[in-house]
Structure 1
Amino acid sequence: MSTLFPRLFFFLFALPLLADSASPTINDDVLGLIVFKADLIDPYSKLASWNEDDESPCNWVGVKCDPTSNRVAELALDGFDLSGKIGRGLLQLQSLRSLTLSRNNFSGSLISDLLRLDSLRSVDLSLNSLSGSIPDGFFSQCRYLRFLSLAKNSLSGQLPSNIGSCSTLASLNFSSNQFSGSLPGGIWYLNALRSLDLSYNFLTGEIPTGISHMFNLRLVSLRGNRLSGSLPQDFGDCFLLTSVDVSLNLLSGNLPISLRRLSACSYLGLGSNSISGQLPGWIAEMKSLQLLDLSKNQFSGQIASSIGDLQALEELNLSENRFEGSLPESIVNCKSLLFADFSRNLLTGSFPTWAFKLGMKRFIVSENKLSGSIQIPVTNSSSLAQIDLSSNFFSGNIPSEISSIHSLLFMNLSKNIISGSIPSSLGKLKSIEVIDLSWNQLNGSIPPDIGGAVSLKELTLKGNSLSGAIPNNIGNCASLNSLDLSENNLTGSIPPTIADITSLQNVDFSLNSLTGELPKQLGDLPHLLSFNISHNNFSGELPAGNFFNTISPSSLTDNPDLCGAAVNRSCPSVLPKPIVLNPNASSSIPSNPALPTDNLHHKRIIFSLSVLIAISAAAIIALGIITITILNFRVQASSPPLVATPPPSDYYLSQSPTTDADSGKLVMFSGDDQEFSAGAHALLHKDCELGRGGFGAVYKTILKNGHPVAIKKLMVSSLVKSQDEFDREVKKMGKLQHPNLVSLEGYYWTTSLQLLIYEYVAGGSLHKHLHENLLPTSLTWKERFDIILGTAKSLAYLHHHGVVHYNLKSSNILLDGSGRPKVGDYGLARLLPMLDRYVLSSKIQSALGYMAPEFACRTVKITEKCDVYGFGVLVLEIATGRKPVEYMEDDVVVLSDLVKAALDEDRVEDCMDEKLCGKFPIEEFVSVIKLGLICTSQVPSSRPDMAEVVNILDLIRCYQGSPEGQLN
């Protein structure tokens, strides 16, 4: 290194001359890369092989050279965790063809003359933190560039008018930035362009005409901007277009008829605009369509029957429009159809039998005016996973043939006028997870066979005329987390088997005629959040412990014979009869003249011996207890104390050696490995418990050096990987370091006990701050926004490192002493041998309301978009102060539906947490809840990435509005 600084000093001043040199030397590549490295922060020393004393950089990591010239041809440093700025040293690489710096944390602005390198063909700077506007002249120097991606950065300003200068470009991706202003008309002169992605920016104005010049264009995405006006009439003149996505804009007008010429187009996304008119019959001429999304627009009229000619169609979304008339029978010809959503329209007519004839996975027609009975073909071979017929006028019985759909995961028939009894055949649906039959006219009893639905998580039978008792077999539904049988005519008592369903979170038996005492075992349910038994005839004492210690009195009203502190009614004392030993044995035995006197004497002898034996045994036990107590007292008096504070509030991790087979090794990532005995079980004391989750309980303890930590005891030993895989995965998790993540500090393994050691965060969970009034003052809007932004950054960091959280909820977000959010419980799914959605659903996704809808469908891939959905719910929860799902006496309130309705009706003030104090910009609040609603889109592809969310939140805070827009 002694020669490095003079060489760098010379090179920095000579760089402009060297860049223009006609005969560069091989050393120029070495010096150029060393200068480039000097501007970087390399926390993991991944560029350690870059040595300035080498004659050539061709053996350096990330560098590839042209075998003919021995000059650097490729620089690929994607995902190297580098930060700093992209320096001008790159300009010395005169033979560079490909530059890939994606998935790092580079900041600062773009190099203004980066594209002047004649040999450059591909530049990928995506997924970084670059900012500022694109420099003037950036595109005017473009020579032979074919690929350019600046996606997922923080670039801003307008798109340069000379963008059309890069006439050789085949792919241009500026998505997920903060570009504003209108689309420059010159963009349509990129004649070689095959792919254009400007999605998720802040572009405004109308889409300019001229796209017909781009005769090579295959893909165009303008999704998630603020573009207005109509689609240009020449949009369909790009005959080779295979994908068009202009959804999530402000577009209006009718569909241009030129779209009929896009016979090669497989993806047409126009959702979430204000496009109107009818669905034209010529849509069938787009014969290659696989996805057609016209949702959330203002289309009207009947659905054209020609839609049945789209035989390649896999996904059809016409929801939230004004379509009327019946569903065309011709759809039965769409043999490839997997997903169909017609919800929230004005459709009439009968149930379409083709729904069970196709190989569809999801069929949704909720909130229409369909009527008649539900007919299922006897020879049904349907593979449906989700069917939602709610909020229509369907009548008749629930067909028993529905049990033949073994793939069914989600069934919602609520808010219809269906009558008759619940078919016992529903118990044959072994995979079903959600059954909602609420608000119908069902009668009869709940069939005991319902216990056969062993995967059931939600059962809602509210608002019917069901009678009889709650079947004991319902205890076989071990995965249930929500059970609502309210507003029926049920009688009898609550079966004790309900207490066997340890996953239960929400139970509602209100407004029935149930009687008897509550099973005491209900107090042992670990995850119970609500238990409503109001307006029944229950009696006796409430269960003790856990949830029932703080149960709301409103959940118990109108049960006059209930007693306990929660109903402010003391329970009568019941004392056992005292046992009196009468020395007069003869009088203690009833007179019976038929009993011989010898026999009476024999009984008196036996009774006397029994009493003597009992008394002697009691005396021996008492003597033993006294002896052991004295010995323990002497041992404790002669031994030094093991802990600084008395148990059970904290425990040290012992360093005592042991030969126990269950002993293990405590591995701390700081390098300080401590041995401790199998007595580690003693650490996990009930009084130290901080909380419980799907993977296990969390306890607070103190290391022997005085450092407080939180210990999670894993309760999935049967699912956890082998020790080697466990060690490898946990060490990967330990490398995840972010200011908004709870740090994993170490772990412990034995065959019977696995512990994860986390940093201790003292501020409590976000759930408690929002819903349990822990603090004298509520969270301010600034604090809430910071929590939302910090959580978004942590998720973006996790996704950047390939980790999906899967279990995002307010109870898994902790606040430190300064109010900074720290996300916990991440990465635990990596400890399982496979990412099975049903294991994840039962072990992780336990919080009702946060689970993304794709968990209900086998065929939809579980991705980072699941976290985005949970984050969207969390945003609404933080902003409004309301829980994701709230159970009222006569209704269930879903937060996302509540917020959307308030926005649609211009009642945004109704969404605000009444505990919010101080002034804050109303525009910021509205923008945040709109972002939350976008994140909770039912279709995963409609949700933004978390990196995009962070960019949007930063922009929302930058443009928070004028003081006049603030609310008190």
Structure 2
Amino acid sequence: MKITMTMEVSLHLQLVLFLSWILMVSLQPHCCISTSDVSLQLNDDVLGLIVFKSGLYDPSSSLASWNEDDNAPCSWNYVQCNPINNRVSHLSLEGLNLSGKISRGLEKLQSLQYLSLACNNFTGIISPNLSLIKSLRTLNLSRNGFSGRIPDGFISNIPSMAFIDFSENSISGPIPDTMFQNCASLRVFTLARNLLEGPVPSTLFTCKFLWDLNLSNNHLSGYPEFINGIWSLTRLRTLDLSHNEFSGFVPGGISAIHNLKELQLLGNHFSGTLPIDIGLCPHLSRLDFSDNSFTGALPDSLQRLTFVTFFGLSNNMFIGDFPQWIGNMSSLEYLDFSDNEFTGTLPVSLGDLKLLKYLSLADNKLTGEVPSTLIYCTVLSEVRLRGNKFNGSIPKGLFGFMLEEIDLSENDFTGKLPSEMGLLSSLRHLNLSSNNIRSTLPQDLGYFQSLSVLDLRKNAFYGSIPEDLCESNNLSILQLDSNSFTGSIPEEIGNCSSLYLLSLSHNNLNGSIPRDLSRLNKLKILNLEDNELSGQIPPDLGRLPTGGIFQNLDQSALQENLGICSPLLKGPCTMNVEKPLFLDPNVYNNPIGHSNSLPHRSSGLATFQHKRFRFLSVSAIVAMCGVVLIVIGVVVISLLNVSARRRLAVVENSFESTCSSSQKSGAPPMGKLVMLDSKSSKDWVHNAESLLSKATEIGKGVFGTVYKTSLGGEGGILAIKMVASNIIRYQEDFDKEVRILGQARHLNLMTLQGYYWTPEMQLLISDYASNGSLHSQLHERLASTAPLSWAKRFKIAVGTARGLAHLHHTFRPPIIHYNMKPSNILLDENYNPRISDFGLAKLLTKLDKHTISSRFQSALGYVAPELACQSVRINEKCDVYGYGVMILELITGKRPVEYGDDDVVILCDDVRVLLEQGNVLDCVDPYMCEYPEEEVLPVLKLGLVCTSQIPSSRPSMADVVQILQVIRTPVPQRMDMY
């Protein structure tokens, strides 16, 4: 075999050498060949590309269609020919993971106008032979590994060159002086993110028709004379000199570049004031002077720039009052004046920046109150006012729906937290530290489903720490130090599975350290000092994994807690209990093998023991009390469950019984009917017997019974769901939750029209689907009803995916269905799927998390396997799993779990086995007589991918939608052209 392989390699080398020799011969003057010989010209192109290919490594065989036996390369992948002369005009090899060097061959393509090798792994120098292609207009070598210097005279040898992009390589040395000697055609020139150094040659200023110049992220240098030359390029639209070593003053004259749209000078050593005529460039949309040494006040001419969307001045030495004219820049989306010396107050005209998304004024010397007009910036996502001297209350209304990051730290804010904080479902970062805010924490912090950082240090917060603080599974930093919090540390903090830093020091917390902290596997920093904590350090904390907190825990983390005793603390321990439990100091020194020693832990974490006493110790008393309390708790919970079940039965009949008794007494029941579209409510009296009777019942589910009815003047046939539990006590809270769900409007979602409220009963009102559920169409179909065709099934698969994608990707935090199955996919008169019951799981968890979890477990076969672990929180991947099961059910017509005489058949496993055996089409629903295999097979495979046991291996619903679109309508391969 080795001999055979050697022979193959030898033959390949001989072929390459032979072709190279032919190429070199062919590059000589053709004194005997007519230039009109099209056949020979085409062979020249084939020969050049084959020689070029021979020097490449193509791991994905992307160039497999390049065959030296072909008469012309025009049908090859990534090649495009001029239809007039059939010569190669475009060669685009972007992102094919090719590697190697640019060898001889390409110069043979004498009609080539467009060449892109971007986003590959090419190395070596930029071949000077490319300048032999006189017809070349576009050359893109960006995002590779080219090194060395730019060849001399590169552009001057190609007079037609219009576009050059060498960005994101490792090209070094200076830019050649001769590079721009013949650049009349040059329009775009980019050398960004290389290793170039030295001054920019003055010949660049002869490129009078240059539009875009990007020299950013190099080590280039220069002085004001260079900038003067740049101002002479009057046709420039974008200029990016950022992150270089340019220095000196920036002279005036910029107004000569009348069409300039982007000017980026950030990250250099420029100094002095800004050019006073900068505001005379009327088309400017992006200005960034950050990270320099500019000084002085801002030129008043800047207020003329009404089209600027990005304005960055951070980390300079600008002085003077904050510009009162800032509201004139009405197109601003990004404003960063941080780390300067601005003084004065903020103008009310800030509220005129209706498009503003990012505002940073941190680390200045601004004073006064933040103007209330800021609430009119309704699309703000980040506000950073850290390190100023702002005072007064935090403006009401500042906490808008779109905010993702708020940093008001190190100011003099006072007052209480705004009540609308609970609306910030998209908030990721909240820092109010080092102020004088005196307030309790909102009890609805659990709504912050995206919250990652919460820093409230050094204020005057009081009261208890909310139990639902960790409803967000994303919280990684929680800092509540130096406040006046009281009460115990909530056990629910153990639900913060992403917590990295937990600091509760310098408060008035009491009680013991919760054992549930041991579930924080990512915790690295723990600060509990200076509280009133007592009792035992939970032994389970010592079981945190290697690298956990106890490898680095020192005395400062626990000191000044009078009731805790540990060898980590210096000095005597003052106890609040008679015989406290403590950390055994000898456990670290017991020799391995000693009869009383514990097993050695390689992780080096602290090991905990109970101290033994001859007589009945406090530990024994505590243990017995704990057992008694557990028994009492079990009994109480059991009684409550029995009472709850009885209450549910009463609720289901309460409307009828109340109505009957009310009619007898002459006072019919009255509740609030709220229709979301009308944004109004009214008192409503209705005959419950006709509304919620067995005759109008159309189904039951996890969340309650569904009825088909009409609300008279409120419009046509509707579906009314009587919710299975009294889930929320107050109508205001219920209204808030329902309105969030009511915002989910999509063709493939069942629209929530309104609700009916009384303290005893809640009804949800939605559209009615005339063709029932997908479950009934698949498994309860009447013999007289035609089975679903493939066209309808595919339509259902795509529509359901779009509906879920809308829930997952449009809302922040995403709306999770959690109970994704065919009975919750309803079909309208045109068999468009409409997903129902989305988001209701969040409502029911307000009442009873354990009950709702057990109810969902009844959805056998649809529940993602990771939910078997109670500590795992639901996310979008759980819905993807249920969707994947639905796809398999849709195609096979089988239930997700079927019971035979001797075994149980799991649909996912059954389809996967058939696929491995090559017989997967055997599982297709036999009632679906005709179907295209080229569509059914990839959809089946998609279902298996969605039901992967590993959540991270499942695609997002947005990806699923795109995959389904490609399956139905394959996209032809396209080539990008300049």
TM > 0.5: yes
Q: Residues 454, 78 of structure 1: CA spacing in aligned structure 2 closer, same or farther, 3 A cutoff? A: closer
Match of 2:386? 366
In 2: Cα distance, 1:229 partner to 1:140 partner: 31
Q: Are residues 1:320 and 2:336 paired?
A: no
Q: Are residues 1:534 and 2:559 paired?
A: yes
SS in 2 for 1:483: strand
Q: Tell me the alpha carbon deviations over residues 74-131 of structure 1, each in whole angstroms, 9 at most, x when there is no partner.
A: 1112222222221232111111111111122222222325234332111111112212
Match of 2:511? 492
Q: Tell me the alpha carbon deviations over residues 571-598 of structure 1, each in whole angstroms, 9 at most, x when there is no partner.
A: 5324699xxxxxxxxxxxxxxxxxxxxx
Match of 1:64? 80
Q: Residues 227, 567 of structure 1: CA spacing in aligned structure 2 closer, same or farther, 3 A cutoff? A: farther
Which residue identity lines up with residue 57 of structure 1 in the other structure? Answer: P
Q: Summarize the alignment of residues 696-735 of structure 1 with structure 2, pairs less than 5 Å apart.
A: none
Q: Residues 162, 723 of structure 1: CA spacing in aligned structure 2 closer, same or farther, 3 A cutoff? A: farther
Match of 2:956? 834
Q: Tell me the alpha carbon deviations over residues 390-412 of structure 1, each in whole angstroms, 9 at most, x when there is no partner.
A: 11122233333433444333211
Match of 1:434? 453
Q: Are residues 1:553 and 2:565 paired?
A: no
Q: Summarize the alignment of residues 626-645 of structure 1 with structure 2, pairs less than 5 Å apart.
A: none
Q: Summarize the alignment of residues 391-540 of structure 1 with structure 2, pairs less than 5 Å apart.
A: 391-448=410-467, 450=469, 456-475=475-494, 477=496, 479-499=498-518, 504-523=523-542, 525=544, 528-529=548-549, 532-539=557-564
Between the two structures, name the one with larger relative contact order (CA 8 Å, sep ≥ 6): 1
Q: Residues 107, 20 of structure 1: CA spacing in aligned structure 2 closer, same or farther, 3 A cutoff? A: farther
Structure 1 residue 34: deviation in Å?
2.3
Q: Percent identity, aligned pairs only?
A: 35
In 2: Cα distance, 1:241 partner to 1:161 partner: 26
Q: Tell me the alpha carbon deviations over residues 9-47 of structure 1, each in whole angstroms, 9 at most, x when there is no partner.
A: 232244243699882732211222222223323334333
In 2: Cα distance, 1:16 partner to 1:179 partner: 36
Which residue identity lines up with residue 533 of structure 1 in the other structure? Answer: L
> Is the Cα–Cα contact under 8 Å of residues 518 and 538 in structure 1 kept in the other structure?
no
Q: Residues 397, 714 of structure 1: CA spacing in aligned structure 2 closer, same or farther, 3 A cutoff? A: closer
In 2: Cα distance, 1:422 partner to 1:69 partner: 76
Match of 2:216? 199
In 1: Cα distance, 2:585 partner to 2:958 partner: 41
> Is the Cα–Cα contact under 8 Å of residues 422 and 442 in structure 2 kept in the other structure?
no
Which residue identity lines up with residue 52 of structure 1 in the other structure? Answer: E
Tell me which of 81, 94, 118 is aligned to 1:102: 118
Q: Residues 263, 751 of structure 1: CA spacing in aligned structure 2 closer, same or farther, 3 A cutoff? A: farther
In 2: Cα distance, 1:432 partner to 1:469 partner: 23
Q: Tell me the alpha carbon deviations over residues 739-788 of structure 1, each in whole angstroms, 9 at most, x when there is no partner.
A: xxxxxxxxxx9979x9xxxxxxxxxxxxxxxxxxxxxxxxxxxxxxxxxx
Match of 1:152? 168
Q: Residues 358, 554 of structure 1: CA spacing in aligned structure 2 closer, same or farther, 3 A cutoff? A: farther
In 1: Cα distance, 2:157 partner to 2:570 partner: 71
Match of 1:572? 611
In 2: Cα distance, 1:113 partner to 1:125 partner: 14
> Is the Cα–Cα contact under 8 Å of residues 280 and 304 in structure 1 kept in the other structure?
no
> Is the Cα–Cα contact under 8 Å of residues 399 and 423 in structure 1 kept in the other structure?
no
Match of 1:208? 227
In structure 1, the gaps of 5 or more residues are 543-551, 578-694, 697-712, 727-748, 755-827, 838-968
> Is the Cα–Cα contact under 8 Å of residues 518 and 541 in structure 2 kept in the other structure?
yes
In structure 2, the gaps of 5 or more residues are 1-11, 589-608, 617-864, 867-871, 886-906, 913-949, 960-978
Q: Tell me the alpha carbon deviations over residues 451-477 of structure 1, each in whole angstroms, 9 at most, x when there is no partner.
A: 666654432110123233224454555
Match of 1:126? 142
Match of 1:600? none
- Alpha-carbon RMSD across the aligned residues, in angstroms, is 3.9
Structure 1 residue 214: deviation in Å?
2.6
Structure 1 residue 309: deviation in Å?
0.8
In 2: Cα distance, 1:434 partner to 1:351 partner: 23
In 2: Cα distance, 1:503 partner to 1:169 partner: 54
Match of 2:370? 351
Which residue identity lines up with residue 29 of structure 1 in the other structure? Answer: D
In 2: Cα distance, 1:401 partner to 1:716 partner: 26
SS in 2 for 1:102: coil
Which residue identity lines up with residue 537 of structure 1 in the other structure? Answer: L
Match of 1:935? none
SS in 1 for 2:71: coil
When normalised by structure 1's length, the TM-score is 0.56
Structure 1 residue 483: deviation in Å?
2.3
Structure 1 residue 376: deviation in Å?
1.1
Using the TM superposition, name which of 397-406 and 230-239 deviates more: 397-406
SS in 1 for 2:164: strand
Which residue identity lines up with residue 388 of structure 2 in the other structure? Answer: N
Q: Residues 716, 437 of structure 1: CA spacing in aligned structure 2 closer, same or farther, 3 A cutoff? A: closer
Which residue identity lines up with residue 20 of structure 2 in the other structure? Answer: L
Which residue identity lines up with residue 236 of structure 1 in the other structure? Answer: S
Q: Residues 715, 179 of structure 1: CA spacing in aligned structure 2 closer, same or farther, 3 A cutoff? A: same
Q: Tell me the alpha carbon deviations over residues 499-548 of structure 1, each in whole angstroms, 9 at most, x when there is no partner.
A: 555654433211111112234444455584356333313457x8xxxxxx
SS in 2 for 1:537: coil
In 2: Cα distance, 1:374 partner to 1:229 partner: 42
In 2: Cα distance, 1:358 partner to 1:461 partner: 30
Structure 1 residue 150: deviation in Å?
0.9
SS in 1 for 2:362: coil
In 1: Cα distance, 2:549 partner to 2:317 partner: 40
When normalised by structure 2's length, the TM-score is 0.56
Match of 2:406? 387
Q: Residues 559, 47 of structure 1: CA spacing in aligned structure 2 closer, same or farther, 3 A cutoff? A: farther
In 1: Cα distance, 2:122 partner to 2:153 partner: 22
In 1: Cα distance, 2:470 partner to 2:572 partner: 30
Tell me which of 160, 173, 176 is aligned to 2:193: 176
SS in 2 for 1:130: strand
Q: Residues 62, 401 of structure 1: CA spacing in aligned structure 2 closer, same or farther, 3 A cutoff? A: closer
SS in 1 for 2:416: coil
Tell me which of 292, 302, 305 is aligned to 2:324: 305
Match of 2:97? 81
> Is the Cα–Cα contact under 8 Å of residues 537 and 582 in structure 2 kept in the other structure?
no
Number of aligned residues: 598
SS in 2 for 1:140: coil
In 2: Cα distance, 1:366 partner to 1:473 partner: 31
SS in 2 for 1:115: helix
SS in 2 for 1:308: helix
SS in 1 for 2:430: strand
Q: Tell me the alpha carbon deviations over residues 573-624 of structure 1, each in whole angstroms, 9 at most, x when there is no partner.
A: 24699xxxxxxxxxxxxxxxxxxxxxxxxxxxxxxxxxxxxxxxxxxxxxxx
Match of 2:108? 92
Larger Rg: 2
Tell me which of 24, 36, 50 is aligned to 2:52: 36
> Is the Cα–Cα contact under 8 Å of residues 202 and 229 in structure 2 kept in the other structure?
yes
In 1: Cα distance, 2:232 partner to 2:32 partner: 36
Which residue identity lines up with residue 372 of structure 1 in the other structure? Answer: G
In 1: Cα distance, 2:255 partner to 2:303 partner: 14
Match of 1:188? 205
Match of 1:903? none
> Is the Cα–Cα contact under 8 Å of residues 211 and 234 in structure 1 kept in the other structure?
no
Q: Residues 724, 447 of structure 1: CA spacing in aligned structure 2 closer, same or farther, 3 A cutoff? A: closer
Using the TM superposition, name which of 465-474 and 195-204 deviates more: 465-474
Match of 1:653? none
Q: Residues 135, 472 of structure 1: CA spacing in aligned structure 2 closer, same or farther, 3 A cutoff? A: closer
